[in-house]
Chain A
Amino acid sequence: MEVTLSVSRYDPDSERPETYYQEYGFDIDENATVLDGLIKVREEIDGSLALRCSCRSAICGSCAMRVNGQAMLACNTRLADVQPSNGGPVVVEPAGNMGLVKDLVVEFDLFWDKIRAVKPWLQPEGPEPEAEYLAPSEDMLHLSGVMSCIMCGACVSDCTVLEVDDNFLGPAALAKAYRFVADPRDGADNERLGELNEYGGVWDCTRCMQCVEVCPKDVAPMDRIMAMRDQAMEAGYTNTYGARHAMAFADSIEHSGTLDELRLPIKTFGIFNIKEMIKLAPVGIKAQLAGKRPPIFHKKTPGVENVRRLFEKTEKVENDK
């Protein structure tokens, strides 16, 4: 199989360090992976190419990088699957959102700083048991989904919030936080949820699902973040814009069947929140002038009582759990 890789190159020690793309063409086995291709380049064509890899079996998490613009493990991505149909090269770039060291190698400091920030260790409460801490199998089975994270950084690379705000804890660290919040042996849930409720925590996720899409181990970080939003609200952390937005949204559907877009921001911020109301004003005025203001009297969907009944029923099932 003929393959052309267009590889992002960067050498900090060169006279004028800047990123450029270098193409490498070669013949390789049909089943070869992107990593096989890169190793072939390094060993046979250009020994100056820097990349990080180890196990070649999707276990060590060393070789996360962007292939055709999306983060993935180079070792479990077949070249044949990513060859563009237009005959162009396979574009290989370093992981995003992390500092560049050289070529395809990135700085992991930001990644580990965020993991450390969620206190990724068990904090049991009460007296220490005589033998080991016991936990129900089904709880641990549930946790195994998130424990299969191999810390490859693919989710961090493609997180759309980290791209614009590096204060965000990000998908990997928040998935790790969930691993302890959902651990029956951990006694610090309340403190953890309180901290995760702050700026940069669970509410700053924009629900874009990039992390769910790119995770090579199906950890689904965003789903864990959503679970912690619910747990934070259940634990009484309801006075954030995020929580108030979620509650106002649910109230609107329960009340009228559809979303009342006019009242949602007002309920989220609170009508007496002068600062936020003033911030809303320019957009509100422009929308009014453009005839885009949602109706003042939000109409109820016919038969909304059926929707309300489902709210009552489902909430009862949740509470019984």
Chain B
Amino acid sequence: MKYAFYPGCVSRGAAPELYASTMEVAGRLGLELDYEPMKTASCTGSGVLQEKNQRLGDTLNARTFALAERSGLPLLVICSTCQGVMSQANKRLTSDPDYLASVNEDLAEEGLEYKGTIEPKHLMWAIIEDIGIDKLKAAVTRPLTGFKVAPFYGCYIVRPSSALDFDDNPERKDSLERVIEAVGAEVVDFDGKTACCGFPILTINQTASLTMVANHTGEAKHKGAMAMVTPCPLCHLNLDGYQPQASKLRRQEPIDLPIIHFPQMLGLAMGIDPQAMRLNKHIVSTTKLLSTMALTP
């Protein structure tokens, strides 16, 4: 299956592990990720640009959708935040023909028009809806038996459910658990799994942000999780990058819970070299985890 591939800013910036692991697993899932149509696409605005100017955010996303439409390919993303921001924009654009027409006037100068046919889709959803859980299971060469992992979704891939079409696609609600089970791992359910990681207020209210990190990683660890897996690189930045500081804020000893990107978990189950997926490049070390799982980083 071929997609127009939108990697987002973070997988090419502060979370290169996400990009590397996506590339590693794509071929084994029979995915062809075509970046060419997306190479002039901009950032989604991440909800931050929308604070200042929602129409501008919608216009930039309409431009990205128009670029995907022109390529004739469905649009694939690998970030919960990209997914949510795009889905919200798409909802506004496709539910109001006058709004779409006026946004298209702005796009016309570049020779672009968004017709409203794109459905941006996260790799996690695509596995369930397009590729099929069976195909994923077939690609698993090393089931993650005994791997207890806590799911952490990221706000934008679960809310608002109306913009994410949960009514038409109810399996999106527990898609992460479905994939965890498909690769042979064990789900550690905990209250914080659909909560906020705290990243958006990191620069504004750092204590609150770090408390969220400490609460969620601490709770998952307490419930027996060996790691946490997330389809959102922004959650990863906070839960991994700021976990040491969060540990200091709340506890004596480090929480020490590795945070794994969604495709890294798939790759481990496919027997891909952890180093090729940059699992040795996390802030919270994955060494102990990988040796427990009889893998070397």
Contacts and interface: CB of A to CB of B under 8 A. Distances in A.
Interface of A: 69, 160-161, 163-165, 168, 199, 203-210, 212-213, 226, 229-230, 233, 240-242, 245-247, 249-250, 252-253, 257-259, 261-262, 265, 268-269, 279, 282-283, 286-287, 290-295, 301-304, 306-307, 309-311, 313-315, 317-318
A226 B215 contact: no
B278 interface: yes
Interface stretch (B23-31, B70-78, B191-199): B191-199
A261 B10 contact: yes
Nearest to B211: A164
Contact of A213 (B59, B159, B244, B282): B159
B14 A209 contact: no
Q: Main secondary structure on chain A at its contact with chain B?
A: helix
Nearest to A218: B162
A315 B59 CA distance: 11
A283 B248 CA distance: 13
Interface stretch (B45-53, B180-188, B251-259): B45-53
Contacts of A164: 198, 208, 211-212, 215
Contacts of B245: 282-283
A213 B166 CA distance: 12
B9 to A, nearest CB: 4
B40 interface: yes
A250 B13 contact: no
B281 interface: yes
Contacts, number: 178
A246 B60 CA distance: 16
Contacts of B15: 292
Give the residue among B55, B109, B205 with the most A Cβ atoms within 10 A. Answer: B205
A265 B209 CA distance: 15
B117 interface: no
Nearest to A269: B203
B207 interface: yes
Give the residue among A252, A262, A301 with the most B Cβ atoms within 10 A. Answer: A301
* Closest 10 pairs between A and B when the two form their complex, measured CB to CB: A208-B196, A303-B40, A209-B159, A294-B13, A164-B211, A259-B9, A314-B56, A165-B208, A160-B196, A208-B155
